[in-house]
Amino acid sequence: ARLFSAVSQLVSRIAQRKPMLWVIDDAQWLGDDALELLAYILRRNTEAPLCVVLAERPEPPLNIEAIENAINRNNVQLIELKALDIDSARKLAEATLGKQASPNAVQFVVQRADGNPLFIQELANMLKAERPTREAIASVNETLSLPVPVRIARVMANRLAELHDVQRRILEWAAVFGREFNLDLLANALDESANEVSERVDVLLKRQVLQERRTRSSEMYRFAQQQLREVVYGELSARRKRTMHGTVANAMEREGSASPADLEFHFGESGDDSKAVRYGVLAGDRAREAYANQDALRFYQRVLERAGDKYEFRDSAAHAHFGLGETHRFLGHYPQAKASYERVLALTT
């Protein structure tokens, strides 16, 4: 009590000379003693020109009632900071990119920042450093791979350090699955019961590390921040990635509802060229039928890269060349279409 009184009197004397602003970051880690001291100071200095800003994350929750009970509740204002909406995120990305703010570059930044202002600025600055001219940055597309900016990586590392090993393991597998995953497939890959996995996922949902999206048939889960997924995935060794992608691919294949595109990706990352080629052809056909022409070109091209000159992939290569020809013809790229058709003839005669 004497310590509390002494600190309160010191604050009062300083505040009489000039207004004071206290900013306490990561306030969720304040212990009961610290909260009691803060409440005591506020209760004894209700008329002092003192403003206290507590910045906290939802987990673990801060006992704000101790502060509210110490002073008039009208003097306590709770402000929940949410992610920027798409329009605001786009404007911030454009402002940070400046003259190099091509539509492709803005989209690239906005999709990866998840509405976080710091992430938008860091990603935009890294993109400008990697692509110093407007012409170079205009060529940015979804396939561009950039390392996670240092400041973002530090923020994410701190978040990961707060998690238990079993929670980290869930995130590692979630990162391998990709943008989204469902609980049954995750449990299948982990070779654990859905109930056990669900309990761990619930903890990650409460900590706002993962987000839930409900569909008509099931619930889908994703990282709350795409940059966190990239940090987790980047920490895995190449060998573990191959093994885990293979496990995910086989689980998806057994389950039966995965798209050819997802199967092509995971089998490809696992090093299983045979299945990656097979599903790559199917993914290319599916994309071409849906008039997703750039996706179709990308899938067919990957089939050809994997097939190479291997005899066992000869039929698949011919199919991919034909798909390329049809797609180029639809796009009006007649020289490329002609070259693809000629390759089909060379492989089949």
Predicted pLDDT at 226: 87
pLDDT above 80: residue 266:
yes
Any residues with CB less than 8 A from the CB of 83 and at least 6 apart, and which? 89, 114, 115, 116
pLDDT mean over 88-104:
86
pLDDT at residue 286 tops 90: yes
Residue 34 tokens read as 């610290």
pTM above 0.75, yes or no: no
Q: For 121-151, what is each residue's pLDDT tens digit?
A: 998 888 888 766 555 555 555 556 677 888 8
Give the pair of three-digit tokens for residue 93: 């990305």
Share of the chain above pLDDT 70, in %: 90
Measured between alpha carbons, how far is residue 246 from residues 262, 307, 346 in Å? Answer: 12, 19, 34
- Residue 238: band (very low, low, confident or very high) from pLDDT cuts 50, 70, 90: very high
**Residue 91: pLDDT over 70:** yes
How is the beta sheet containing 181-182 ordered, strand by strand? 181-182, 219-223, 210-214
Residues pairing with 53 in the sheet: 23
Task: Please give the pLDDT value at position 218.
Answer: 78
249: CB partners within 8 A, 6+ apart: 263, 266, 267, 270, 272, 275
40 versus 345: which is more confidently predicted?
345
State residue 131's pLDDT score. Answer: 67
SS3 (DSSP) at 24: strand
Does the 258-349 domain belong in CATH 1.25.40.10? yes
State pLDDT tens for residues 287-317.
Answer: 999 999 999 999 999 999 999 999 999 999 9
What Å distances lie between residue 161 and 62, 155, 164, 190, 313, CA to CA? Answer: 19, 10, 8, 22, 46
Largest CA distance in the chain: 96
- Of 63 and 191, which is predicted with more confidence? 191
